[in-house]
Structure 1
Amino acid sequence: MAHPVIETDECIGCGICVDACPQEVLEVNGGVVEVVNEDNCIACGDCVEECPMGAIPEVVEE
């Protein structure tokens, strides 16, 4: 199982990563991004690449 690591103190809630995710894993809630569908994550890294703040430093597989 994989999921993106979100550094909420760096996240500005812009939603660019949400739009970049092909599997609808992320959602903006309360002004920050959170993982809402971890089971859908395919560890593609699109969210990591698209985040302008670097608030998603990696996708980890557990």
Structure 2
Amino acid sequence: MPRPVVDVDEYSGCGTCVDSCPNGVLELVDDIAKPVNEENCDGCKTCMEECAMEAIEVEED
């Protein structure tokens, strides 16, 4: 099962990944993207591709 992993040291808090996710997997919590609906992740990697800081990886479990 795919899941997004956010590098909090690199993440800028812009929220582009949250807005770009077609499945509502991510949510901003204290200006950090957090996976709140991991079960909805289909591995499309849109969040990873849209992150200008390259702070998101989509990993397979």
TM-score range with shorter-chain normalisation? over 0.9
What fraction of aligned residue pairs are identical, expressed as a percent? Answer: 52
SS at match of 1:5: strand
TM-score, scaled relative to structure 2? 0.94
TM-score, scaled relative to structure 1? 0.92
Corresponding residue for residue 36 of structure 1: 36
5+ unaligned residues in a row in structure 1: which ranges?
none
5+ unaligned residues in a row in structure 2: which ranges?
none
Corresponding residue for residue 24 of structure 1: 24
* 4+ residue runs over 3 A deviation: none
Matched length: 61
